[in-house]
Homo-oligomer: A and B are copies of this chain.
Amino acid sequence: MTVRRADAQRNYARILAVAEAEVAAHGAEASLEQIARVAGVGSATVRRHFPGRRAMLQAVFHERVEALCARAGELEGAADARAALLEWLGALTTYAASARGMADVLVPDGQAGADHANACAAQIGGAVEPLVRNAAKAGAVGQDVTVADLVALVTGIALATERHPDPVAEAHRLLALAVQGISPRLPGNDDGTAADQVRHRPAQEVR
């Protein structure tokens, strides 16, 4: 693959456009065959440009991921580190909940090349890291909170609300809940009965 041939580029663009529409319509389950048919190319061609569904989804959501990274960059110098982080989390939530299939791309792959398992997540991780650091410095989040944690949480929320009538609104409700805390132990509210650590494993291993 020295330089991409012109027809290949044309096809790539067309397939990508179709893929976007198809994913928007059918979510992450969109059929590669179907994309090929609509795009008027052979299924092998689709497969050549996007080896695997995941690659296709990553390409489809590439722009959005970049937009999120850019947003993180803008917010990096904000005066209120906490507000900046929350703003960004809100943006991520909106994206993940409104673009069907995006959450699936953000969830760690687990398959094969575990190192670069997930280009998108890594890219986001790098861009958002400063936001989290700033927020941690300001005491707005715990020191041990990582970007991966936050992304995982939002991703999970998006996945869990995917089928909801209004996924975006519902996702934001849950995000707000998680941001404020389901049941935070407030300083001065400690009645000593403790049990504040959520039990790590209940009675016995699930069989």
Q: CB-CB contacts of A20-64 with B at 8 A, as 1s and 0s?
A: 000000000000000000000000000000000000000000001
Choose, from A1-9, A10-18, A122-130, A153-161, the stretch at the interface: A153-161
Q: Which residues of B contact A163 (CB under 8 A)?
A: 107-110
A184 within 8 A of B: yes
Q: Which residues of B contact A79 (CB under 8 A)?
A: 193
For this chain, the copies found in one complex come to 2
Q: Which of A177-206 contact B (CB under 8 A)?
A: 177-187, 193-202, 205-206
Residues B168 and A201 in contact, CB atoms below 8 Å apart:
yes
Residues A160 and B152 in contact, CB atoms below 8 Å apart:
yes
Q: Which residues of B contact A178 (CB under 8 A)?
A: 153, 177-178, 181-182
Shortest Cβ gap from A64 to chain B (Å): 7
Range class of the A interface residue count: 35 or more
Shortest Cβ gap from A116 to chain B (Å): 15
Q: Which of A59-98 contact B (CB under 8 A)?
A: 64, 71, 79-80, 82-83, 85-87, 89-91, 93-95, 98
Shortest Cβ gap from A104 to chain B (Å): 10
Q: A86-B195, A87-B202, A107-B163 are in contact. List 17 more A-B contacts (CB 8 A).
A: A86-B183, A86-B199, A107-B162, A152-B157, A152-B161, A153-B156, A153-B157, A153-B174, A153-B178, A156-B174, A175-B198, A178-B178, A178-B181, A178-B182, A179-B183, A184-B184, A186-B187
